[in-house]
A and B are shown apart, each in its own frame.
Chain A
C-alpha cells in the first residue's frame, strides 16, 4: 500500500527539481565555498589529531601532513579541493549529487586518516599513548556532514530517502569501526574499556525514556482530551503544564528526591519496586512531567484539527463518541500525533542525560564521569552517543510520519 503510494509520489519532486535551476540564474553554492574555505584554514592552522603520552595529560596538536603518510594527507586534501570545485558547477542536480558523494567520501576518509595517524602513534610510542581527534578533524568532519545533509535535503526531500542515505553513511562508519581500523583512536579505547557498561547504560537510557513515555502518553492524551471537551479548563491546564516545562530539569530531579525518599522510608515495601530518593523513580517521574505538555498539546491540536463536519457525519452514521474517537478522529489526527510523539521522544532523550546526576544511569554517566576525570574522550563518547540517539529517533519518527502521510493519499 504505502510502497505503491510512494511510487506515485516519488517522481514528482524529481521532475520538479531540474526545472528550478534552469528557470533561475544558475549560481555557485556560496555556503559550500564558505565551508570549504573553513576546512582549508583549519587544516592549515589547527591540529588534525592531538597526541598525548597518556590518557589524562592533554595532548599536543599534530597537523594533517605531519600526522599521516603523504599519500593519505593528499587524498584528504584532494577530496576537500574537489568538494570546493564542485560548488562552482552550475547544474543544480548534478552538483548536489557530486557534493553528496564527495562529502560522504570526505567524512569517511577523514576518520580513516585520523585512525591511521593513531596507528602510527601507537606503533611509535607504545599502547599508553593516546591519539584524540583534533580541531581540524572536527571542522572537516562537521563541514562534510553538513554539506552532505544539505545536498541530500535538496536531492531527496522525503524522510524515508534521507533515512536510507543516513543509514548508508552510518553503515560505512560502523564498518570502518568493526574492521578494527579505528581501534587506536582514544575514543575507541574509551569505548573498548567500557564495552559492557556502554551497553548497559544505553539500555538504561532507553528504559528511562520508554518508562516516561509509557506514563506520559496516556496521561497527556487524557489531558489533551480534557482540554478539547472542557474549553474553560484549557487555559489553566496548559499554563500549569507550561510551568512544569519552565523549571530546569535538574531542579525537578532534585526536588523529587526528598518526597520519594520520605515515601520509601514510610513504606519500605515500595523499595522492592525501585521507589527511592535516588535512582530511576525520580528520573522517570520528572521525565513524565516534562513529557505531558507536548503530548497534551499534540493530542489537543491533532483532535481539534478534525473537521466538525466529519464528526457530525460519523455521528449521523450512528457511531458513539468512543467509536468516533477511535475510528475517525485519531486516524485523521495521526500525522499531528506522530509529530508530537517525535518532539516528546527527542526532548526526553536529551533530558534523560541529566538523570545520571541523580544516579539513574543512562548515557549521561559517561559525560559526567568524563567531566569529573577531565577525560575528554569519555565526555565525547557520552555526548556523541546521546546526540546520535536523538538524531536516530528524530529520523525514524519523521519517516514514520511521512509513511503515514503517503499511506493516506490513495
Chain B
C-alpha cells in the first residue's frame, strides 16, 4: 500500500542525489562557474601576477571564445559523426566491400599523422580563419569514427544476424534493429576519441586564425603573459574534461 507512495516520493530525491554524485555534473558546473567568474577575476590575477599591467584577457569575452570553440568542434563533429558512420556502414555492405581494404589503410595511415600538421596543411589549401580549422577537424576526426564503425559492425556476432535474417528482416532492417545497436558502444568510443582530439586540435586552431579558448594561451605565450595562458588553459581543460566525462555517462547509459 505504502510502496507506491515511497516509490513516487523517492525518485526525485534519488535522481538528484545520483545527479550530484556524477563527476560529469561537477566538471560542467566548474566550467560554467569559471566562465562566469573569470571576467570579474582581474583583482585575483593582479595579485597573482603583480608585474603584469593587464593580467586579464579582454580581447574577446571568454563566453565568445567558449561558444566559438564549441561551435567549431560541434559543427565538425556533426559532419564527422554522420559521414563517418555512413562510410563505415557503406564499406561493410556488399556494395562497398571493394572499398573496405583501402579505407582501412587510409584510416590506419591517417591516424599516424600529427593533428597539428593536418591543421597546418589546411592553411595552404584554404587560407586562415575558422574554415581551415573546421576542415582539418573534419578530416582528422573522421578517422577514429570510421575505424570504430567498421570495427563495431565487424564484431557483431553471427548468431543475432542470422536470427534477424531468420525472422525475415530486410538488410536495412537488420542494420538498424540489430547490427547498429550491437555496435553502438564501439562506435560511441570512436566518437569520443574524435571529439576529445578535436577539442585539443581546435585549441591550436587559434594559430591559424580561428577564435577559440586557445587564443588567450597562444597570445599569452607569444606576449609573455602567463596570466592569459592560465585563463585559457583552465577553461579549455575544464571544457575537455567535462565533455569526456559526459561521454563516460553516455557509455554507461548504453550498457
Contacts and interface: CB of A to CB of B under 8 A. Distances in A.
Given A248-B214, A379-B121, A379-B123, A29 B114 contact: no
Interface of A: 27, 29-31, 135, 146, 149-150, 153-154, 242-243, 245-252, 254-255, 257-258, 261, 277, 346, 349-351, 353-354, 357-358, 364, 367-368, 370-371, 374, 376, 379-380, 382-384, 386-387, 390-391, 394
Given A246-B241, A380-B121, A354 B116 contact: yes
Given A149-B109, A251-B240, 14 more contacts: A30-B99, A246-B240, A248-B236, A250-B200, A254-B220, A257-B229, A353-B117, A354-B204, A357-B218, A357-B221, A367-B116, A370-B120, A386-B117, A387-B113
Nearest to A31: B102
B44 interface: no
Contact of A346 (B112, B204, B207, B221): B112
17 contacts: A242-B244, A243-B241, A246-B241, A248-B199, A248-B237, A250-B217, A254-B229, A261-B226, A350-B115, A350-B117, A353-B116, A353-B117, A376-B124, A379-B121, A382-B120, A383-B116, A387-B113
B196 A246 contact: yes
A257 B237 contact: no
Contacts of B237: 247-248, 251-252, 255
Given A27-B98, A31-B99, A391-B109, A379 B120 contact: yes
Q: Name the residue among B124, B207, B217 with the largest chain A CB count within 10 angstroms.
A: B124
Contacts of A153: 101, 105
A386 B106 CA distance: 18
B232 interface: yes
B34 interface: no
A387 B117 contact: yes
A353 B98 contact: no
Contact of B226 (A257, A376, A387): A257
A242 B204 CA distance: 21
Contact of A248 (B99, B123, B125, B203): B203
Contact of A258 (B199, B214, B226): B226
Contacts of B218: 250, 357
A248 B240 contact: yes
Interface of B: 98-99, 101-102, 105-106, 109, 112-118, 120-121, 123-125, 128, 196, 199-200, 203-204, 207-208, 214, 217-218, 220-221, 226, 229-230, 232-233, 236-237, 240-241, 244
Contacts of A261: 226
B36 to A, nearest CB: 20
A387 B230 CA distance: 30
A316 to B, nearest CB: 37
A384 B106 CA distance: 17
Contacts of A351: 114
Q: Name the residue among B218, B232, B233 with the largest chain A CB count within 10 angstroms.
A: B233
Contacts of A255: 229-230, 233, 237
Contacts of B106: 146
B117 A150 contact: no
A277 B124 CA distance: 33
Nearest to B239: A248
A390 to B, nearest CB: 5
Nearest to B242: A246
B99 A150 contact: no
B71 to A, nearest CB: 17
Given A243-B244, A387-B113, A390-B114, A254 B102 contact: no
Given A243-B241, A243-B244, A258-B226, A367 B120 contact: yes
Contact of A371 (B99, B105, B114, B120): B120
Nearest to B48: A258
Contacts of A31: 98-99, 102
Which 3 pairs between the two chains have the least Cβ-Cβ distance? A350-B114, A248-B200, A251-B233
Contacts of A379: 120-121, 123-124
A368 B221 contact: no
A351 B200 CA distance: 11
Given A246-B240, A246-B244, A371 B123 contact: yes
B117 A383 contact: yes
B207 A251 contact: no
A311 to B, nearest CB: 29
A247 B203 CA distance: 11
A225 B132 CA distance: 43
Given A30-B99, A249-B200, A364 B116 contact: yes
Nearest to A354: B116
A254 B101 contact: no
Nearest to B230: A258
Contacts of A357: 207, 218, 221
B112 A251 contact: no
Contact of B221 (A243, A254, A353): A254
B101 A150 contact: yes
B174 to A, nearest CB: 23
Given A383-B117, A387-B113, A387-B117, A254 B123 contact: no
Contacts of B114: 349-351, 353, 383, 386-387, 390
A358 B226 contact: no
B241 A247 contact: yes
Contacts of B101: 150, 153-154
Contacts of A350: 113-117
B241 A371 contact: no
A205 B226 CA distance: 24
Nearest to B117: A383
Nearest to A50: B124
Nearest to A145: B109
A154 B100 CA distance: 12
A383 B114 CA distance: 8
A30 B214 CA distance: 42
Q: Name the residue among A254, A346, A349, A370 with the largest chain B CB count within 10 angstroms.
A: A254
A364 B116 CA distance: 9
A351 to B, nearest CB: 8
